[in-house]
Every structure is written in structure tokens, then in C-alpha cells.
Chains A and B, each alone.
Chain A
């Protein structure tokens, strides 16, 4: 067992003092001298042609500085998919038609937010209403209204994954079952809404944008495309972010319009969404209609699985295509399935776009897979834990054509959770336990933005005064990546965490990083940081070795402010005297190390995977259908833990979001209008709804990860909804094939069960 000096030890959040004192500044808090306030006018219709827009009355309102519409933008389309330009289907402001309730058609900048709001009311838009469609199955029919020109049947993308011979395997299986599911939409609900502050400098044609984002780099590129500017003339800075969860991963109208308004007025312009906009017009989790078939031998060995999915894409591609792809990937995790077929298609509808949300297709996949496997176990007459053990992935397993699993602690996770479940003992009536297994990626090998740069970069500068500057573009959105990455740097360099000064998430000074998505920061940026620090450490060790004059077989160590012989610690030098020497010996050049990381030779999905098991205990009130969460235990294999409380924080936070997906959260819309666009009506679980959560660590070592580390941010969003559904199934015998398991759904299912 390796002993580390920094990593693996509980460490306070390095941004913590700023946050607990109220000093931390979010884009939401920022102001600049002379700043104007921007607002977006949004379409009240789900599908319509724009006949005319009259902004004259709005322009005359005192305090209004400029009003822009589609004709005032550089034109063309933009979106995250530089790799496949036909999928870049968004306009900054709609020019000829709008495609969902909330599509932006105009923007206003005024001296006060209230004046900007008033100006919106004075803009007159004439629409020609078009027939709209909201269900993806309906939208794919030949007679459905066409939402995007040239896209027949509104089919946005299709995905096919196949190995083995599924049809043959089903024929010889002892047990086969089919299940169909309808999975609903969920909203990210970050506490800080989407916002942007843009400032255009007319003297040099350069733009600076501060925004609440998961990826300053993606915003920079999106702005460059939409504004037809050079990327380098745009600087995107991420201040503290009040949560993102997948909803702030791309470039959005408020960012582009703030920039345009600033260009036109010569003043900084800030646009902040309100909470209703946050719910109704930003992205959401991808709803899916799923048919799944599984075949097994009588001893529980799975022989084949087939999954068919239609997803509701909403009005634009966004990153909903990746969510569909990952649905196909995760629907065979974490089991060894010799014959597999996945077919999915994403269909445009006139709802708001569905895109990335924490879990990224994983919660959907685990829901259908883990509820089905429980029922299969019941059909066969074997224990649900036994069937999971029988088929669970193991280290070095190859997922055909997709990925190689190196480290895999799945079975240890199952063992630990099983022990805890046994301690819960025999349960009273109407209580039940549901257990679920999952696997998740450590960042995706996806380059939708088509960047030539490495996926993560880092720069480290070690100074003679005992301070170290670490430059990273990784985005801390609350998960604690600033702290984890600084810890990795300190560990590799052999210095104290307190000596590190972070420079983060500023495209003007930090090296390219794809940002926080797919749970990639600790793993991918961690590798880049470790490489940068290792480069410096090598230089320092070379200098120390020469000065010590010992035989090269003797190892050196760097720890506690010294560099010394490992076997004779008294023989060494102060760390920073060696730093000074290294600089002097190199003609005074500053001591800078750079590192980067892009996965290579790691298949099509991810360079590494985490695994886990979770059990949830519930009690069902059969009078009302209300489900109460009583206890949750999770065992998560994230390789080497970098910062233990941060991992626990991620487990518990992700469990809360996943429990919401399973129990109370549903973005309800009718004819394209979101009906519960308020925290009063969109039900987030509260203090009293969350039970005790036990997190059990399973330690493996992932050779590809920094110090053997893996992810702990998104994988945990995948199991809980399914575990709740399984627990309810075991408690009261109802099979529910949709989510969330609201009291009404459970009540209706109980009533139906009693009737049959």
C-alpha cells in the first residue's frame, strides 16, 4: 500500500473560505462600470414562421440602448458539433422560424433590468403558426410537421451497436423477457441560473465573456463560430459556478447575445435568466421510449440483450446525440453480454432541446437494465445478487468493439453492499430493498468540437520563493476539481498544498481543457497536471543528483520542503535551493513544466471505468402510494481516492439527484409548454426526504489514471432511481415502467395489482 503525503487525506476545499464568507464571486454577482442589462425575447409558440418583427417602439423606450434581432447577427448556424457540421443547427436569434416555446427572437440592452423587461413587451412579432409535434414517435411519421429544413421525418441521428448474434442467442435462451419503458425528463436546477457578462473592446476588437459554464473552451469556440471571430480574440473566463450538472456545457443564446449587445453599444452587457427560463428554455435530460429484451440460461447467465430507443430530442441537436450513444453503451454495463444489439434514434420535436445531464444516458440505461434484471431473476427463481455476480464484469474484460475494462472493483462492491443489506435483516411489511450495479466512464473519448488540441493541458511554474503556480482550464463547478488537481500537483512535486496558487478556467491564460463533463477532470486533467509536475520534478532531481554526487542507483525523494536521498534522508537540500539552482543552471530560464493528456488506444468510449453497487431501503404507504427512502448504501470503486470528503460529497450529491429522478422530479410539459417551471412545483428532495447514506470505498488501482484514480462525479447519478424502483417492487410487488415513482404512479399501480 503506497503512502502518499497529500492525496488520500481529507483536505478542505481550497475555495472554501471564499464560499463560507460570501466573498466568492459568481457571474451572477459581477458588475462592471457602465454595465447594461440584457434580456431575451422568446417565442410563445412551439412552431411558427416569423413574418415580421417591429422593434421601433422598444427602441424608443428611455433607457433602451439597442434592440437586435436575427438580421443583426452575423448569420449562419452554430452548435457544439464542429465535427459534423450538418448537426450545427442553432441560430443566435431566429431569423425565419422558431421551433420551441422559448426560442430566442430578439435581445435588448438597457440601463436597468426593469427597462429591458419592459422593452421586451414593446417588441411586436408577427408569427404564422405552424403545426407542432411533441412526441418523438409522432414526429418521425411521414405526415409530421418538418422542424428543420432538409431533415426528413425529423430524424436527427441514429445509433447502432451490435456484436455477436443476438437473434440466434434468443432462440436458444431458457428465459426471455421483454419490457417497455417511458422515461421522463429532468431539469438540472443549478442554484445559479444561466448568466453571462460580455465586454467588447472596440480599440482592439477583442471580446471578454464571464459566464457560469462547465467549459470555457467550448464557449470560446461557440462564440467564435456564432460571431465569426477568431477564437483567440475571444477570452472566456469562468468565475465560481453555482452548479451546472451538464446544463452549462455548451454555448447559449444569452452568452452570444450579451457579446453582440456589447459590440453594438460599446458597453459591458449582462444577461441573467430568471428561474422560469431556467426550467423552461434551457436544456433538459433526454426523455426516452425504450424496448428492451433479455435472454438468459436457467443458471442466470445472460446470453443476449437487445435495446431499442427513441429519444425526444427537442428542437435542436445539442448534445442529446451523445446521451443516446451512451444509452447504448451503458445498457450492457456492467455485465458480460456475449450478444448485444442497440438501436436508437433521436427525433426532433417542438419541445425545448434535450442534451447532457449528469449521468449522460447512464440513469436511463441503468433504470431499464437494473429493473429488468431483477424481474428476470424473479422469473428464473434466483437471487438478484447472485444473477449480478454471475454476469458482472471483471478486470481486463473487453467490451467488443467498444472498450477494455482495466481496473474493476465491481465484485468487491457487490460483496460490501451485500454485507450491509444482510445487516438490515428481515424487513417489516411494505418495506423493501432494491439493489443495483453500475459502471461509468472517466471522461469520454468524444471530440464533438473537433479540436486539434489535447483534451487536457496543464502548466506548472515553480518559483524560487516557495510558491508554485498551477495553470489549468479545468472547471470547478462545485465538485472540488480545483482542490483535487492542486493535490495531485503537490503530491507529484513533493510540496505542500498551501504553496500552490491556482490560475483556472481562463482561455486567455490557461491551456486548453475540454471542461467538466463525463466526469473527466480528476482523471484527464489530473493526468496532465501530473505530467507537468513530473517534468519539473525530473529537472529538480537531476540537479539534486549532481549536487549530491551519489551513484545513480540511489533514489531521491521530495517531501516536506526537502529533496534528499531516500535511504539517507539527512543527505539532501532544501527544495527551493534546488529550484534556484535549476534556474541558474539553465541561464535563468523560469522553471516551467507542461503536460497534456488525450486517451490513445483506449477504444471508443472511455480510457477507464468506475464500478459500483448500491442498495436502497424504502417503505411504501399503500394508502397513498408515497414512497419513503429509509436507508442507502453505496460501494464505489473509484481507484485511488484523491480527496475522501470530496468523493463522499459527490456520492451523496449524485444520489440526491438520482433519487429525484426516481421519486419526484419530472419536467412536465403539454403542447410544448413546461407546466412546472418553478421550484414550487418542480419537486426537489429536501433535507427531510433524504435518508442516511453510507459510502463504502473499494480500492483498486487504475493504471491509466493519475496515481491510479478514477471518477466519482457522475457514475453515482445512475443507480438510485433503479434501486428505488426495485425496492418498491420487492416491497409491494408492483412493476412500474416509467419514472419518477410519484405517489400517484405507485398508487395507480397498487390499485391495478389489487384488481388483477
Chain B
């Protein structure tokens, strides 16, 4: 039997009907048309489905949609400010921190969560925070560099 789910996603309020077994990632992708978060595995191992739920990074493939009821979600589609990309997105582009791009939304959202909590991380802290994300294309180091650079850009912007 379907139940009502209320979510604020990227600042917009939604009310949708979902089955109790529906995963958050499927609501975002199939019902709200936000395809940035991807399903990369069936074991919560890759991080490609990462979104922010109430400010915290979560695997949206491992959460039932109804568990997020009433919550605030940020997906990759909500990061840019209109045509202006977020500094993390700019840094990813400048550092060639993406290749096929399939894991990229999850990586960027996780990077945002990290930098929101720790605006000046060390390289090791970045690697620890991002360790749950698999990338098959880059070998990770260029992503780490992008995140460290994004941290600098965000600090500049705050001054």
C-alpha cells in the first residue's frame, strides 16, 4: 500500500506516493527526475548514490525513502547556483578530476559534506572521508587534489 512521502529536495518541497519498500535513490531518480545520483552497485559499496540528508552524506541506495520523510536533501542538481557552478564543481573541472563521470555526482556531494564539516582538511583527511567512493577511471589522486583546491577556493570566497 502506498504512503505519502514529504521531502525538500534542493530547496523544493515534494509530496509523492511511495511503496514502503521504495529506496530513496529510486524516488529521486524515477519520481523526481533527478538522475545525478546513480546506482553503481547493490551492496552499498561504491558511493555513487550519495546525497546529503539533513546535511549528512548518505547512501541513498541503502535508505528507504520513508526513512527520509520530512528531511532536507541536497543532490548534485542543487549544488550550482543557477549558471554559476559551485567552487567544488569548478575545481573538479580544472583538475580533470572526472573521466566517465558516473561516480562524479556522489564524489562531489561527499566532498561538500567534508568541506562543510572540515573546511581545511589535510590530504589524509580527504582520503579518509572519501574512501567509501569507488572510481574506476581516475585512480583518485586528481580528485583529492581538486577537493584540496576547492577548500582553498571556498576559504578565499569567505574572506
Q: Do chains A and B touch in the complex (CB under 8 A)?
A: yes
A interface residues with partner B (beta carbon < 8 Å): 10, 12-13, 15-26, 28-29, 189-192, 240-243, 245, 274-276, 477-480, 645-646, 648-649, 652-657, 678-680, 684, 686-688, 690, 692-693
Q: Given the complex of chains A and B, what is the CA–CA distance between A477 and B101 in angstroms?
A: 9
- A688 touching B41 by the CB < 8 A rule? no
Given contacts A16-B98, A243-B137, contact A22 B131 (CB under 8 A): no
A693–B102 contact, CB under 8 A?
Answer: no
B85 touches A678 (CB 8 A): no
B42 and A678 contacting across the interface, CB-CB below 8 Å:
yes
List residues of B (102-159) whose CB comes within 8 Å of A's CBs: 102-105, 108, 126-128, 130-142, 144
**CB-CB nearest 8 A-B residue pairs:** A22-B36, A478-B100, A242-B102, A19-B101, A645-B96, A652-B139, A656-B139, A22-B76
Q: Tell me the complex Cα distance, A646–B75, Å.
A: 27
Rounded to whole Å, the gap between the CB of B109 and the closest CB of chain A is: 9
Known: A16-B92, A20-B92. 20 other contacts (CB 8 A): A15-B101, A19-B98, A20-B89, A22-B34, A25-B35, A29-B38, A240-B100, A242-B102, A478-B137, A479-B99, A645-B142, A649-B99, A652-B139, A652-B140, A654-B139, A679-B40, A684-B134, A687-B126, A688-B127, A692-B141
B94 at the interface (CB under 8 A from A): yes
Residues in A with CB closer than 8 Å to B46 are 191, 679
Residues of B within 8 A of A686 (CB): 131-132, 134, 140
Docked Cα-Cα span, A374 to B82, in Å, equals: 57
Q: Give every chain B residue within 8 A of A21 (Cβ-Cβ).
A: 36, 76-77, 79-80, 85, 89
Hey, which bits of chain B sit against chain A, CB under 8 A? 29, 34-43, 45-46, 48, 75-77, 79-80, 85, 89, 92-96, 98-105, 108, 126-128, 130-142, 144
B45 to chain A, nearest CB (A): 4
> Are A657's CB and B38's CB within 8 A?
no
**Chain B residues in 8 Å Cβ range of A479:** 99
A275 B104 Cβ-Cβ under 8 A: no
B137:A649 contact, CB within 8 angstroms:
yes
Give the docked Cα–Cα distance between A245 and B135 (Å): 13
Asked whether A17 lies within 8 Å of B133 as measured between CB atoms, the reply is no
Q: Given the complex, which residues of A lie within 8 Å of B35, measured CB to CB?
A: 22, 25, 29
Contacts of B34 in A (CB 8 A): 22
What's the Cα separation between A687 and B34 when bound, in Å?
Answer: 27
Main secondary structure of the interface of B (DSSP, over half): loop
A96→B142 CA distance, assembly (Å): 50
A-B contact count (CB 8 A): 165
**Once the chains bind, are B104 and A19 in contact (CB under 8 Å)?**
yes
Contact B85 A17 (CB under 8 A): yes
Q: Provide the residues of chain A in CB contact with B95, threshold 8 Å.
A: 645
Asked if B43 and A688 make an inter-chain contact with CB atoms under 8 angstroms apart, the answer reads no
Closest residue on chain A to residue B101 by CB atoms: A19
Are the C-beta atoms of A243 and B96 separated by less than 8 Å?
Answer: no
In the complex, how many angstroms separate the beta carbon of B59 from the nearest chain A beta carbon?
12
CA distance in complex: A478, B127 (Å)? 22
Closest B residue to A274 by CB, please name it: B42
Q: Are A22 and B99 closer than 8 Å at their CB atoms?
A: no
Q: Give the CA-CA distance A652 to B139 in the complex, in Å.
A: 5
Residues of A within 8 A of B102 (CB): 26, 28, 190-192, 242-243
Given contacts A191-B46, A191-B100, contact A20 B130 (CB under 8 A): no
Contact (Cβ within 8 A) B103 A191: yes
Q: How many Å lie between the Cα of A245 and that of B137 in the bound state?
A: 9
Contact A688 B131 (CB under 8 A): yes
Instruction: Pick the most buried of A15, A16, A679, A693: most chain B CB atoms within 10 A of its CB.
Output: A16
- A649 is contacted by which of B41, B96, B133, B136 (Cβ under 8 Å)? B96
A656 adjacent to B93 (CB under 8 Å): no
Contacts of A15 in B (CB 8 A): 101
Contact (Cβ within 8 A) A649 B138 = yes
Contacts of A646 in B (CB 8 A): 96
Smallest CB gap from A479: residue in B: B99
CA distance A78 to B95 in the complex (A): 43
B99 x A480 contact (CB < 8 A): yes
Closest to A279 in B: B41
Chain B residue, CB-CB nearest to A31 = B30
**Set of chain B residues within 8 Å of A243, measured between Cβ atoms:** 100, 102, 136-137
| Cross-chain contact A652 with B42 (CB below 8 angstroms) | no
Are A679 and B138 in contact, with the CB atoms below 8 A?
no
Please measure, in the bound complex, the distance between the C-alpha atom of A246 and the C-alpha atom of B13, giving whole angstroms. 43
Interface contact A191-B96, CB-CB below 8 Å:
no
Instruction: Report the minimum CB–CB distance from B100 to chain A (whole Å).
Output: 3
Docked pose: A15 CA to B105 CA in angstroms:
14
Set B89, B101, B132, B137: member contacting A653, Cβ < 8 A: B137
Q: With a CB–CB cut-off of 8 A, which chain A residues contact B79?
A: 21
Q: Tell me whether B99 and A192 are in contact (CB under 8 A).
A: no
Q: State the CA gap A655–B140 with chains docked (Å).
A: 11
Bound CA span A18–B135, Å: 18
Docked-complex contact B139 and A690, CB < 8 angstroms: yes
In the assembled complex, which residues on chain B have CB atoms less than 8 Å from the CB atom of A276?
A: 42
Q: Are B77 and A22 in contact (CB under 8 A)?
A: yes
Minimum Cβ distance to chain B for residue A359 (Å): 14
> What's the nearest-Cβ distance from chain A to residue B49, in Å?
11
- Which residues of the other chain, A, contact B98 by a CB distance below 8 angstroms? 13, 16, 19-20
Q: How far is the CA of A654 from the CA of B137 in the complex (A)?
A: 8
Q: Which residues of A contact B39 (CB under 8 A)?
A: 28
Q: Determine whether the beta carbon of B130 is less than 8 Å from that of A687.
A: yes
Which residues of the other chain, B, contact A679 by a CB distance below 8 angstroms? 40-41, 43, 45-46, 134
Q: Are A477 and B139 in contact (CB-based, < 8 A)? A: no
Residues of B within 8 A of A655 (CB): 139
**Given A22-B77, A652-B138: A191 and B43 interface contact (C-beta under 8 Å):** no
Q: How far is the CB of B57 from chain A (nearest CB, A)?
A: 15
| A657–B80 alpha-carbon span in the complex (Å) | 32
Complex: chain B residue closest to A691, CB-CB: B141
Q: Does B136 lie within 8 Å of A191, measured CB to CB?
A: yes
Would you call A20 and B43 a contact (CB within 8 A)? Answer: no
Contact indicator B134/A13 (Cβ below 8 Å): no
Q: Are A653 and B99 also in contact (CB < 8 A) when A22-B35, A192-B38, A692-B141 are?
A: yes
Q: How far is the CB of B117 from chain A (nearest CB, A)?
A: 17
Query: In the assembled complex, which residues on chain A have CB atoms less than 8 Å from the CB atom of B100?
Result: 190-192, 240-243, 477-478
> How far is A13 from B134 in the complex, measured between Cα atoms in Å?
21
